[in-house]
């Protein structure tokens, strides 16, 4: 069964930090481009960060300089280090793996930024 499972979400205070993880199974993970997306209440799903197969990264302007995406191909995992988080970044965060035409989405993990 091809599957991505996110973890690490929860409640965090404004200005705080949180680390999300995504574990992949049932696929040759090292072949995939890995990404994090988020969808806020009533909003559209948007790309947050992306990591290529060799670890090169891209970030949305809104998070650049505060968030860090990384991957560990040996562990078949993707990570998102979220620093200096803002209340408006409350959202469900999703991981995505893509290879050629094939895309796999996780079910998401809730991140709530609130005092």
Nearby residues of 87 by Cβ (< 8 Å), 6 or more positions away: 14, 113, 114
Q: What is the pLDDT of residues 28-66, one digit of tens each?
A: 999 999 999 999 989 999 999 999 998 899 999 999 999
User: What's residue 55's pLDDT?
Assistant: 84
Q: Coil, strand, or helix at residue 31?
A: helix
Lookup: tokens for 64: 């650049």
User: What's residue 115's pLDDT?
Assistant: 94
Mean pLDDT value of segment 6-19: 98
Q: Coil, strand, or helix at residue 38?
A: strand
User: What's residue 40's pLDDT?
Assistant: 96
**Position with higher pLDDT, 53 vs 10:** 10
Q: Would strands 46-51 and 57-59 be described as parallel, antiparallel, or unpaired? A: antiparallel
Q: What is the pLDDT of residues 75-113, one digit of tens each?
A: 999 999 999 999 999 999 999 999 999 999 999 999 999
Would you say 32 and 52 are in contact if contact means Cβ atoms under 8 Å apart? no
Mean pLDDT value of segment 17-21: 98
Quick count: other Cβ atoms within 10 Å of Cβ 39?
14
C-alpha of 30 from chain center:
17
Give the closest residue to 79 by CA, choosing from 18, 10, 11, 16. Answer: 18
């Amino acid at each position: 069964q091809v599957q991505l499972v996110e973890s690490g979400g929860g409640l965090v205070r404004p200005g705080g930090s949180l680390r999300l993880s995504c574990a992949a199974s049932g696929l040759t993970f090292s072949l995939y481009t890995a990404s994090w997306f988020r969808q806020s209440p009533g909003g559209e799903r948007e790309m947050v960060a992306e990591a290529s197969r060799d670890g090169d990264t891209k970030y949305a302007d809104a998070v650049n300089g505060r968030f860090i995406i990384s991957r560990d191909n040996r562990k078949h995992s993707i990570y998102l280090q979220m620093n200096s988080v803002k209340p408006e970044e409350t959202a469900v965060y999703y991981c995505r793996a893509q290879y050629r035409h094939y895309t796999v989405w996780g079910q998401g993990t809730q991140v709530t930024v609130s005092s």
